Amino acid sequence: MELFHDYIRDGKIRLREKFKEPTTVQDPCNVVRSGGLADKNRRLAEFLSEDFRPMKYQGNYNFCCGGGGGAMPMGGEMRKYRLRCGKIKAEQIRDTGAKIVFVPCHNCIDQLRDLSKEYDLGIRAIHFKEAITELMEIPQEMIPEED
Amino acid sequence: MAEDVNSREIYEFLKTRIGARFRTWLQICSHCGLCANTCHYYIANGNEPGMIPSYKVRHLLEILKRKGRVDRKYLETVYHTVYHECNMCRRCTLYCPFGIDIALMISLLRSMLFSQGIAPEGLVKAIENYKKFGNQMAVTEEDWVDTIEWCEEEMAEELLGLKIPIDKKGARIMYTVNAREPMFYPQDIMEVAKIFHVAGEDWTVPRKEGWDDTNLAMFCGDLKTARLIVENTFKRAEELEVEKIAITE
């Protein structure tokens, strides 16, 4: 995520366009609170959006999605607990009105997709990778010629 | 779960690991309750007092007080608290006036349970895979390399000159993934290859174990395996003489 942020900041990756729908970004505990990447996480989300809407408590003080600490890979045993405690995250997202949620964590993204179903959020939860490949400009010399 | 409980072992395990930090935390927590409202479990469960973070670590003090003399049923209560009521997210620590690291104490309790053979099945399965295959999803080296080569072929049709270099010595970045990617989400690998290619990055992925950057052993307190996983990654980075290791997140 930090690399992607730097690529766009330094112009190594250029964007054709930005997302027009409202967006927000999840702060994964290990990347943000413990990893120290709160600012870059938010800035990268802003780079990619025309209408970025921060969650309440965006950054280091954000809530866990409920899928952390091994909860996702614990499988069925943990399901009802994580869906219940994820209510807080679901409400946070709903309050922003975002349609796209950037999620730089495999755990969080699986949890957010489950939460979207459980709490009927109607969001698209995507990794930054997916967002960037969708929006970036491809240099002419890399585009294959059509037969 | 293990059938019996070894009290002496439990006590010894905790005693040797409770350093000054843990002792201070246990002594200075005044149960002021400021951490209550910071916890998503507490709020989502209708402000349930049993879910207040400082209350969750009561087990640590209790077991020490009883010198490890607890029964299996008690350990099951501990299991429920440390796995079903905490994500070790560390949000409560930010709001604690003393900065008490609740998550670290939860982690210690998980380690203690693991030493007694008590751990979630899902995580235990992953640990076996890490030990045998070097990754949580039991992907063999052959399958890993096949997947990378297939991703490269697919993407090279979209972007001229795209490569996913395997074991390239002296690359700037060694890229590691979540083992779920080769299993379920190969598009993640393809997307990152595209971004690296357009950005002109000098990168590589290791062929041998060390490419999985998840560490589920850490979550259930199996520090020996947790260490092995990290060591694999660093070993590869040293062999390949890369400048940096990047992870998929």
ipTM of the prediction: 0.96
Q: Does B167 touch chain A (CB under 8 A)?
A: no
Is residue A121 predicted with pLDDT exceeding 50?
Answer: yes
In a domain, B1, yes or no: no
Q: What is the C-alpha to C-alpha distance for residues A100 and A82, in angstroms, rounded to an integer?
A: 22
| B131-144 residue pLDDT tens | 999 999 999 999 99
In a domain, B2, yes or no: no
Q: What is the predicted pLDDT for the residue at B67?
A: 96
CATH of residue B99's domain is 1.10.1060
Q: What is the predicted pLDDT for the residue at B4?
A: 76
Question: Do B198 and B226 belong to one domain?
Answer: yes
Question: Do B136 and B242 belong to one domain?
Answer: yes
Question: Do B128 and B242 belong to one domain?
Answer: yes
Q: What is the C-alpha to C-alpha distance for residues A54 and A71, in angstroms, rounded to an integer?
A: 25
Question: Do B187 and B132 belong to one domain?
Answer: yes
Considering only CB atoms, which chain A residues are within 8 Å of B173?
Answer: 3
User: What part of B 23-82 touches A (C-beta under 8 Å)?
Assistant: 40-41, 43-45
Q: How far is B187 from chain A (nearest CA, A)?
A: 9
Question: Do B171 and B238 belong to one domain?
Answer: yes
Q: What is the C-alpha to C-alpha distance for residues B88 and A68, in angstroms, rounded to an integer?
A: 7
In a domain, B171, yes or no: yes
> Is A22 exposed, middle or buried, given 0-12, 13-18 or 19+ CB atoms closer than 10 A?
middle
Do residues B27 and B33 touch, judged by C-beta distance below 8 A? no
Domains of chain A from N-terminus onward: 2-137 (3.40.50)
**What proportion of chain A, given as a percentage, has pLDDT over 90?**
98
Q: What is the predicted pLDDT for the residue at B1?
A: 46
Residue in A4, A31, A66 nearest the CB of B87? A66
| B70-102 residue pLDDT tens | 999 999 999 999 999 999 999 999 999 999 999
| A10-34 residue pLDDT tens | 999 999 999 999 999 999 999 999 9
Question: Do B80 and B139 belong to one domain?
Answer: no
Question: Do B152 and B234 belong to one domain?
Answer: yes
What is the domain extent for residue B199?
123-247
Q: Which of B4-8, B200-204, B208-212 has the lowest mean pLDDT?
A: B4-8
Choose the final residue of a domain: B79, B96, B118. Answer: B118
Q: Does B89 touch chain A (CB under 8 A)?
A: yes
Question: Do B91 and B28 belong to one domain?
Answer: yes
Nearest to A88 by CA among B39, B94, B50, B55: B39
**What proportion of chain B, given as a percentage, has pLDDT over 90?**
98
Choose the final residue of a domain: B86, B118, B150. Answer: B118
Segment holding B23, helix H or strand E: helix B20-28
Question: Do B156 and B133 belong to one domain?
Answer: yes
| A62-85 residue pLDDT tens | 999 999 999 999 999 999 999 999
Segment holding B204, helix H or strand E: strand B203-204
pTM check: above 0.90: yes
Q: What domain count does chain B have?
A: 2
